[in-house]
Structure 1
Amino acid sequence: MEILNLQKKSVCIKTLIILLMCVKNTTALGQTRSIKRLDGTSLTVSQIDSTVKHLMTAAKVEGLGLAVINNNRVTYQKAYGFKDKEKNIPLDTSTVMYGASFSKAVFAYINMRLAEKGLIDLDKPLFNYLKKPLREYGNYEELEKDERWKKITPRMCLSHTTGLPNVWWMNVKTGIRDTTLVNRLYFEPGSRYAYSGEGFKLLQRIEEVYLGKDLETLAREELFVPAKMNRTSYLWRTEFETNSAIGYDEDGNAGGKVRSRKAVGAGSMLTTISDYSRFISYVLRREGLSAKTFKEMVKPQVRIRSLYEFPTMLDETTHRDDKINLSYGLGLGVINTPYGKAFFKGGHDDCWRNYSISFPEKKIAIVIMCNSGNGERIFKELLEKLIGDTFTPWEWDRFTPYNISKK
């Protein structure tokens, strides 16, 4: 009898483990049988699955995390493909992935929290926060020689209007690495838009000294802990090792894992599809920010007329995106649509492609995270088919579909 009871317990435990694995690898708590699109129509889970799997196969995307938000809550969440293709290990919703420039949206949210608390002033020049010469804060000797830098404010940093390059050692016209370059201004601060990671880094460096706290501490206090983003960090943590994804380039070659050793608000964040969609849902529900502060964050700060987002300092302009009034807010891109204002953010690296867009008035959003250099090639179709988003400026973002030749 005792042996029989032990066998029954063993079967129950195994069954429970299988059930837990199914939940972990497929759905989020509270998932429904369908999701609502912007036009009010619905898609079933099987329709979502078939769409995602077809596109991943067509574009050779190794792994993809997907979350759809309805009524400001995560309604659908699932991981597809592999976190380790060679070992045939599937991706799951708790797998840590490289957030790339998703980092900037989180950094901007933290800054809005700091501004709401009166700890920083979005319009106070960074120069006024300094106690020492700028060059003592980093590689800013050349920048310090240009008096225009003293006009740079946190608002300019978060709206990409500083005049600083995206990465100081990258040629702003070609995007090619050039070790002869220095950290300098390319235009009058506040006069135009040009995507700039260096602007975010400068703001982070000065804030850390001024506030006496490092970015990871600020992030945990202002967001990660209250939002329960337990598997998100600007720094690599040892517990991530057992469930983290390998990135793959456009040819399917493994690029390895990203293990961030330095917290960088512009791009070191590691997160999961579960955690980042929780962040978007958190923002949409106005948690942590007043309605006034949220409105300021998603208000257009600068109109964007550049032909493409990258390279950052191209002279070519266009009226292509006039119909959506393509602009930048604070840490987020902003567009106008028939469904109200929408805000978006991407994240891009050789082996990682991420994108999220939210429609606050409809309480609908989508988050996509890919550990594949081919991920962006299915974004246009995914957005259109899953939530009915035909407004994302995919040409400006260079989200060239897999069935169209790249320019």
Structure 2
Amino acid sequence: MTSTFFRSFLVSCLLLTGCATGDSGHALDKYVVQGMRETGAQGLAIAVVRGGVVTRVATWGKRNARGEPLTPDTVMYGASLTKAVFAYTVMQLVEEGRLDLDTSIAAYLPKALPEYAGEAGRYAAWQHLAGDERWRKLTPRILLTHSAGFSNFGFLEPDGKLKFHFDPGSRYAYSGDGLILLQFVIERGLGLDLGKEMQRRVFDRFGMKRTSMTWRPDFATNLADGWKEDGSVEAHDERSKTRAAGSMDTTIRDFAEFAAAYVRGDGLQPGSRAELTRPQLPILTASQFPSLQAIAPPERRHRDLTAGLGVITFDGPQGRGFQKGGHNDSTGNTWVCLERQQSCVVILSNDVRAEPLFPEIVRLILGETGMPWSWEYGPRSWARP
């Protein structure tokens, strides 16, 4: 996003509305329309939650190359927003005594983790951990705080093998395989089907009628394809396997209902809900990716940035906030909330080029939150610290 566009937008915003925040403010609509034109983004959906209630759901643009409109009920890829929903499900299992956040995963598995060979098609190649007993130090809390010691995915390693890069629990490094390992523990250790559990415990409970962890044929009637950075179109992936790290399909209307329920604490005891966004582990890197980067010197760290369970937490001028993003080559999603106010912004886009608009959209709706955008997306010119 160019600085010229930001300056021209802010001038017009001040002249028109004084940049006051609001759910249906002219400034927000104007910014989105101008921003999509400037970036080339083809589709964008926004939901607003205030006081634990959904107050606005709006969409702009197209859902596919045929020009069919993006609507509040268009099925879009949830990407890593899935991780926050997964963590919410895990906390229900913790409340029921099925899991303990600080018990080794070894206590739940019938045999040693590296003995599960041939699992790479659905999970990861756990046999590559043979000879490294540090897997026994892994707990649900460590896996949900991205402190397992793994890279994002083992198949991305130079030799394609999952391995430990640091002692479990000692630092933050984003890892999809860490979340998938906890899924494995739930499915192989507890004998539960995660997709069915999330459907029953979250999607059905909160009226998320067009959300699922795997593809449903009825999604095809109103489905979003995606646009990549180069403007090419990518067809929606019909995911056939539940993946805790990111297989969820959803709509902006559905995820808004989850966001509202989450900040209200529905479906959990107050202590369990508070645990999700309690600061669990300091994050000491300058940005989120690459996931195995060196610890940053103090002056390059983001103050009060920590891992929660399935989300990151931060402190800002309005108190504690939390956030979860989702991204792939043709998807850009974010979910930012202010804890005390029970207020959130959810943004789903089927065009990765929309991401530069996210910081200003959140500011226009929630005001200054303290969200560390340059950590989330890296040190781009549009991402203010």
TM-score (norm 2): 0.89
Provide the alpha-carbon RMSD of the alignment. 1.9
Deviation of residue 42 (structure 1)?
Answer: 3.6
Amino acid of the structure 2 residue aligned with 1:290: Q
Take 1:197 and 1:379, find their aligned partners in 2: how far apart are those partners? 23
Other-structure match for 1:275: 254
Asked whether the 8 Å contact 2:106–2:112 carries over to 1, the reply is no
Query: If you compute each CA radius of gyration, which structure gives the higher value, 1 or 2?
Result: 1
Tell me which residue corresponds to 1:118.
97
Structure 1: which amino acid aligns with 2:40? K
Is 1:96 aligned with 2:82? no
Please name the residue that 2:349 is paired with: 370
User: Of the candidates 105, 128, 143, which is equivalent to residue 157 of structure 1?
Assistant: 143
By how many angstroms is 1:75 displaced? Answer: 0.4
2:147 is aligned with 1:170:
no
Verify the 8 A CA contact 2:145 2:307 in the aligned structure 1.
yes
Name the amino acid aligned to 1:255: E
- Residue deviations 1:65-115 (CA, integer Å, cap 9, x gap): 10011111110111111001x211010000010111001000000001110
Counterpart residue identity of residue 160, structure 1: H
**Among residues 299, 315, 318, which one is paired with 1:339 in the alignment?**
318
Mapped to 2, the partners of 1:278 and 1:120 lie a distance apart of 26
Q: Which residue of 2 aligns with 1:83?
A: 63
Contact 2:302 2:372 (C-alpha < 8 Å) held by counterparts? no
- Mapped partners of 1:404, 1:391: distance in 2: 15
Where does 1:228-243 land on structure 2 (aligned, <5 Å)? 228-243=207-222
Change (3 A) 1:44 1:399: farther
Distance in 2, matches of 1:61 and 1:186, equals 37
Instruction: Give the 3 Å change call, closer, same or farther, for CA 300–390 of structure 1 in structure 2.
Output: closer
1: CA distance, partners of 2:321 / 2:289: 21
Question: Which stretch of structure 1 is more off in the superposition, 309-318 or 362-371?
Answer: 309-318
Q: Distance in 1 between matches of 2:56 and 2:300?
A: 30
Rounded Cα–Cα distance in structure 1 between residues aligned with 2:68 and 2:221: 11
**Structure 2 spans left out of the alignment, 5+ residues:** 1-18, 120-124
Letter of the aligned partner of 1:370 in structure 2?
Answer: S
- Secondary structure at the aligned position of 2:211 is classed as coil
Higher mean C-alpha displacement, 356-365 vs 319-328: 319-328
Deviates more, 1:42-51 or 1:292-301: 42-51
Residues in 2 aligned to 1:169 and 1:245: alpha-carbon distance in whole angstroms = 28
Where does residue 167 of structure 2 map in the other structure?
188
What CA distance in whole angstroms lies between the structure 1 residues aligned with 2:178 and 2:60?
Answer: 35
In structure 1, how many angstroms separate the alpha carbons of the residues matched to 2:349 and 2:147? 29
- CA–CA distance in structure 2, aligned partners of residues 321 and 224 of structure 1: 39
1:374 counterpart SS class: helix
Equivalents in 2 of 1:205, 1:221: separation in Å?
A: 19
Matched, 1:208 2:208: no
Q: What do residues 364-394 of structure 1 show as CA deviations (whole Å, max 9, x unaligned)?
A: 1100001112121111221222321351111
SS, match of residue 50 in structure 1: helix
Could you say what secondary structure the match of 2:156 adopts? Answer: coil
Equivalent in the alignment of 1:58: 38
What is the aligned partner in structure 2 of residue 71 from structure 1?
Answer: 51
Q: CA deviation at 1:318?
A: 4.0
Query: Cα distance, 1:398 vs. partner?
Result: 1.6
Check whether the contact 2:145–2:308 (CA below 8 A) recurs between aligned residues.
yes
Q: CA deviation at 1:154?
A: 0.4
Aligned equivalent of 1:24: none
Supply the distance in 1 between the matched residues of 2:298 and 2:210 (Cα, whole angstroms). Answer: 41
Code of the aligned partner of 1:75: T
Q: 1:153 to 1:316 in 2, by over 3 A?
A: closer
CA distance in structure 1 between the partners assigned to 2:354 and 2:42 by the alignment:
8
TM-score by length of 1: 0.84
Paired positions, count:
358
What does residue range 354-369 of structure 1 map to in structure 2 within 5 Å? 354-369=333-348
